[in-house]
A = this chain, B = another copy of it.
């Protein structure tokens, strides 16, 4: 465990700013909760009152973290209640006592219910600002504090439940209202339910035969997404892939195949030298894809960006002409709708014009920005996306769908299938008794493919497009609130001027000791260390998490992003207070 006396800890123990009011609140809740039957009230009561996690400790750390919490004791006055399952003694039971074991039903239901109780506690706590975002431990500490090893002999179900509790104890609460660390934050309750159902259904996407409903839902959902992109009637093709990097790689693969279909059989040796174009602020997966596909990272030409991180179309055209003069064949432009760091939207219309002029496949990486298509207020930022040949759009980012859920959309139908199919006769039998167009597996690079669609589909049903819109508009409003709050505040410098286009707000916090200091090597080298130290302290206190990074000649700055529907104005205020509290001595 990190000692408070280590380099990162300039303060002694002090009273935390966060939620000392828990006990009172919990008691009030308990009274409300007791009105509910079916064990829910009691569970909630035990959670908030009987078994409440300690509030965030600032400076001091809880003792003996390696020792797991005991099973909560039932303190309910109504019996039987949801807390009471004393008849099933897990200390003498093993996984072999669960289904499919004969007569395993009761043990199974009891065990799964106990796991769910642990998860429900975790979920509810995730949204409680008085709990830590993370109970941080260094890797070596975590390895030592608990025995994670795999052995020959089985553990009891009691130990398995303890494993679950311990795992969650050290996990990040990614649904916590003050967790801002990644583009994917938040925990959607309908999405969670849908993911649980997906696990219970435990199937693969390759054929209609074994995933009838999910294949149809993928069809319905991809068509709807293509409609929102603006392709007439939602026509086209697509797939849910394991993340935006793979979706971008698919786009590159299909673009190459469209131009030189012989590459599938003959390889790169049979075709001219290809080049792809993307902005210097684009996601690294474009280069990663080029490396994997045998194109090579040198053949990815990085186009200059303006001060806001948007690709400069004139530079794109210049580099295309230059490449052609050198005898290379431009085959793909990957424009970005929502860059990772600045949240910038490339000028898609101008890029589409250039792609049309030079007959180049236009891909839009909207992994992060695609969500704005749900918002009538903000979708103009993606104007021109309807002219793209392919689009990456990750509902697991701005739309808050549980990880992972990334769609690649392709305008031309049938191309994915031609590009990737291998006609495996043991999967895609041609003499099946149903419409084989629903056997979509041969479109994919993967053979088995996880069901990623159901959580998005169910959330969409639950929220409607208008619900996603409201959620996204709120996050963008919060980003503007943050921008307005700090743009003229003492101790802050914005990395780029102007209102954020997405929810990315990039800024330096300048500690008092650096304020007024002239630009110099010393100032730069000291400023570089500010964000990492504040971030490390945030993690040690567990109060909040936000990302930082350098970019080009700019030293480490904070990149705040808001995709968490749980965040409020007060959480933004808290973040700023916390940065100042943790950074004032630097």
Please measure, in the bound complex, the distance between the C-alpha atom of A242 and the C-alpha atom of B529, giving whole angstroms: 37
Do A420 and B288 have beta carbons less than 8 Å apart?
Answer: yes
Which residues of chain A from 201 to 253 have a CB within 8 Å of any chain B CB? 201-204, 208-217, 220-221, 224, 242-246, 249, 253
Give chain B nearest CB distance to A172 CB in angstroms.
5
| Known interface pairs A155-B462, A202-B174, A420-B288; A263-B197 also in contact (CB < 8 Å) | no
Over the window 79-112 of chain A, the binary record of Cβ atoms lying under 8 Å from chain B Cβ atoms (1 yes, 0 no) is 1111111111000001110111001111011111
Do B149 and A220 have beta carbons less than 8 Å apart?
Answer: yes
Do B296 and A293 have beta carbons less than 8 Å apart?
Answer: no
**This chain: how many copies in the complex?**
2
Do A150 and B38 have beta carbons less than 8 Å apart?
Answer: no
Do A244 and B434 have beta carbons less than 8 Å apart?
Answer: no
The 8 closest A-B pairs by CB, nearest first: A294-B294, A267-B296, A100-B566, A268-B268, A242-B242, A268-B294, A37-B80, A195-B199
Which residues of chain A from 1 to 60 have a CB within 8 Å of any chain B CB? 8, 29, 32-33, 35-41, 43-44, 48
| Known interface pairs A106-B36, A202-B174, A431-B532; A539-B195 also in contact (CB < 8 Å) | no
Do A120 and B124 have beta carbons less than 8 Å apart?
Answer: no
CB < 8 Å neighbour of A81 from B8, B38, B536:
B38
Which residues of chain A from 450 to 468 have a CB within 8 Å of any chain B CB? 450-451, 454, 457-467
Interface with B: A355-363, A409-417, A495-503, A545-553, which one? A545-553
Which residues of chain A from 409 to 464 have a CB within 8 Å of any chain B CB? 419-420, 422-427, 429, 431-435, 438, 445-451, 454, 457-464
At the interface, yes or no: A520 with Cβ under 8 Å from chain B? no
| Known interface pairs A116-B113, A124-B109, A426-B340; A200-B210 also in contact (CB < 8 Å) | no
Residue of B nearest to A402 (CB): B202
Interface with B: A135-143, A307-315, A318-326, A477-485, which one? A135-143
Over the window 259-273 of chain A, the binary record of Cβ atoms lying under 8 Å from chain B Cβ atoms (1 yes, 0 no) is 000011111111001
At the interface, yes or no: A196 with Cβ under 8 Å from chain B? yes
Q: List, in ascending order, chain B residues with CB within 8 A of A266's CB.
A: 296, 298
Count of A residues near B, CB < 8 Å? 200
Do A224 and B150 have beta carbons less than 8 Å apart?
Answer: yes
Interface centre among A204, A290, A423, A529 (most CB of B within 10 A): A204
Q: List, in ascending order, chain B residues with CB within 8 A of A528's CB.
A: 431
Do B213 and A426 have beta carbons less than 8 Å apart?
Answer: no
Do A84 and B38 have beta carbons less than 8 Å apart?
Answer: yes
Interface centre among A48, A188, A403 (most CB of B within 10 A): A403
CB < 8 Å neighbour of A285 from B35, B142, B447, B539:
B447
Do A245 and B445 have beta carbons less than 8 Å apart?
Answer: yes
Interface centre among A86, A245, A431, A539 (most CB of B within 10 A): A431
Please measure, in the bound complex, the distance between the C-alpha atom of A466 and the C-alpha atom of B151, giving whole angstroms: 9
Give chain B nearest CB distance to A469 CB in angstroms.
9
Please measure, in the bound complex, the distance between the C-alpha atom of A164 and the C-alpha atom of B124, giving whole angstroms: 22
Q: List, in ascending order, chain B residues with CB within 8 A of A48's CB.
A: 105
| Known interface pairs A124-B105, A211-B172, A213-B142; A119-B152 also in contact (CB < 8 Å) | no
Q: List, in ascending order, chain B residues with CB within 8 A of A221's CB.
A: 150
Residue of B nearest to A138 (CB): B434
5 A-B pairs with C-beta separation under 8 A: A94-B467, A100-B565, A154-B462, A154-B463, A340-B426
Give chain B nearest CB distance to A183 CB in angstroms.
9
At the interface, yes or no: A584 with Cβ under 8 Å from chain B? no
| Known interface pairs A41-B106, A160-B190, A216-B148; A432-B137 also in contact (CB < 8 Å) | no
Which residues of chain A from 177 to 197 have a CB within 8 Å of any chain B CB? 177, 181-182, 184, 186-190, 192-197
At the interface, yes or no: A341 with Cβ under 8 Å from chain B? yes
At the interface, yes or no: A68 with Cβ under 8 Å from chain B? no
Do A450 and B105 have beta carbons less than 8 Å apart?
Answer: no
Please measure, in the bound complex, the distance between the C-alpha atom of A111 and the C-alpha atom of B40, giving whole angstroms: 10
Q: List, in ascending order, chain B residues with CB within 8 A of A220's CB.
A: 148-150
Please measure, in the bound complex, the distance between the C-alpha atom of A192 and the C-alpha atom of B463, giving whole angstroms: 27
At the interface, yes or no: A284 with Cβ under 8 Å from chain B? yes
At the interface, yes or no: A291 with Cβ under 8 Å from chain B? yes
Do B292 and A112 have beta carbons less than 8 Å apart?
Answer: no
Please measure, in the bound complex, the distance between the C-alpha atom of A539 and the C-alpha atom of B244, giving whole angstroms: 36
Q: List, in ascending order, chain B residues with CB within 8 A of A419's CB.
A: 291
Please measure, in the bound complex, the distance between the C-alpha atom of A285 and the C-alpha atom of B421, giving whole angstroms: 10
Do A246 and B429 have beta carbons less than 8 Å apart?
Answer: no
| Known interface pairs A113-B116, A549-B429; A160-B462 also in contact (CB < 8 Å) | yes
At the interface, yes or no: A163 with Cβ under 8 Å from chain B? yes
Do A294 and B448 have beta carbons less than 8 Å apart?
Answer: no
CB < 8 Å neighbour of A446 from B95, B122, B210, B243:
B243
CB < 8 Å neighbour of A202 from B98, B175, B264, B427:
B175
CB < 8 Å neighbour of A199 from B41, B199, B210, B458:
B199
Residue of B nearest to A153 (CB): B464
